[in-house]
Structure 1
Amino acid sequence: MTATSREVVEQVLRASREMDTDTFVSLIAPDGYVEWPYQLPGLPGRLEGREQIREFMTTQAKGLVRFDEYRDTVIHETTDPEVVIVEYTVHGTVIPTGAPLLQTIIAVLRIRDGLVVSYRDYLNPLVLADILAGRGTTP
């Protein structure tokens, strides 16, 4: 039996928080994508396909932040059974500086046949940019 869209989102969040690249990538459709409509300069705005996502997660993402926990997670199921919106707050550490990270996320995922076909991650890139530039910590 194929997992529901909500169940897939819960699995994606767990794999993301645990930085479990293999599980995360296995939940993405072969032609699926992850997109950050607001991204830091020098980082991609969109990753397409499992291999590009895996490459980014293993070479860039793992050295940038460590996620300790996700709090205040709310999963919104929509009238479209493929679309799920999730809100959560990330608590973690910015690895290059050791500074704490507090980031509110809203993500919109489209799930089809138990796999993520699109993942739009609406985070505020200025939070991480300010920490990396030494201009302070998160709010």
Structure 2
Amino acid sequence: MTTTRKIVERVLRAGRDTDVEAIVELMAPDGYIEWPYRPPGVPARITGRAEIRAFLTEAAHGFIRFDEYRDVVIHETADPEVAIVEYTAHGTVLRTSAPFEQTVIAVFRVRGGLIVSYRDYINPLPLAEALAGR
């Protein structure tokens, strides 16, 4: 059986590599990705593989390219389904070629080897600046 930690490591690698299909395959059919803190234009939640695929495909081909994740720390919790991840994403805003840095804390719930919830607590300020073309 695959551990929550291994699933989280795989989804982080897929996100950095812009491998949308790998992310979708790691999601439960009714799983969701949620952004509690986000700039205007970013949905609060996307649910199900089709919606997740559509959103991530659009985002992957026109906004930010992630080059690396630094200072990645995965916190395993008392609940074996839950892991909390901290990292800094470094990349490039494709439209402007400006560098991009994003601090992230994410909470994952993995059941049966699939992600049922992925709450992405991003710092919305760098994303808002990038969306504004700064």
Which of the five TM-score ranges fits, normalised by the shorter chain? over 0.9
1:18 pairs with 2:12: no
Q: Give the match for residue 39 of structure 2.
A: 40
Which AA in structure 2 matches 1:46? R
Q: Give the stretch that moved more between structures: 94-103 or 123-132.
A: 123-132
Q: Quote the residue 1:113 is aligned against.
A: 112
| TM-score of the aligned structures, taking structure 1 as reference length | 0.92
Gaps of 5+ in 2: none
Separation (CA, whole Å) in 2 of partners of 1:91 and 1:107: 16
Residue aligning to 1:88: 87
Partner of 1:4: 3
Question: Is 1:54 aligned to 2:36, yes or no?
Answer: no
Q: RMSD between aligned alpha carbons?
A: 1.1
Task: Report the Cα offset of residue 10 of structure 1.
Answer: 0.3
CA contact (8 A) 2:109 2:116 kept: yes
**1:100 equivalent in structure 2:** 99
Q: Does the 8 A contact of 1:66 with 1:94 survive in 2? A: yes
Q: Secondary structure at the match of 2:61?
A: helix
Partner residue of 1:79?
Answer: 78
Q: Which amino acid aligns with 1:87?
A: E
**Structure 1 residue ranges (4+ consecutive) displaced by more than 6 angstroms after TM superposition:** none
Q: Which runs of 5+ in 1 are unaligned?
A: none
Q: Deviations over 1:95-130 (max 9, x none)?
A: 111110111100000000000000000001111212
Pairs aligned (count): 134
1:112 and 1:54 map into 2 onto residues whose CA distance is: 20
Identity %: 63
